[in-house]
């Protein structure tokens, strides 16, 4: 019991660092996807405007 508690306290930095790193990567991916989706929406709007003028 005390050994397990000692391991948790000794590796507390890892218990905090790895989830924080995972969340940072996840947030970065979502932000990048959001900007790509916005770019695609602009292209679709431009194409729909071009189709309406034809």
- pTM: predicted TM-score of the whole model, two decimal places: 0.62
Who contacts 15 (Cβ-Cβ below 8 Å, separation ≥6)? 8
pLDDT digits (tens, 9 = 90+) for 10-28: 888 888 888 999 999 999 9
Domain-wise residue ranges, the chain: 2-53
What mean pLDDT is predicted for residues 35-54? 89
Spatial separation of the C-alpha atoms in residues 9 and 15, rounded to whole Å: 9
What DSSP assignment string belongs to 1-54?
Answer: -HHHHHHHHHTHHHHHHHHHHHHHHHHHHHHHHHHHHHHHHHHHHHHHHHHHH-
Cβ(15)–Cβ(8) below 8 Å: yes
pLDDT level of residue 2 (50, 70, 90 thresholds) = low
């Amino acid at each position: 019991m005390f050994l397990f508690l000692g391991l948790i306290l000794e590796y507390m930095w890892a218990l905090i660092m790895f989830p924080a790193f995972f969340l940072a990567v996840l947030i970065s991916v979502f932000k990048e996807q959001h900007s790509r989706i916005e770019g695609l929406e602009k292209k679709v709007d431009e194409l729909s405007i071009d189709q309406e003028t034809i």
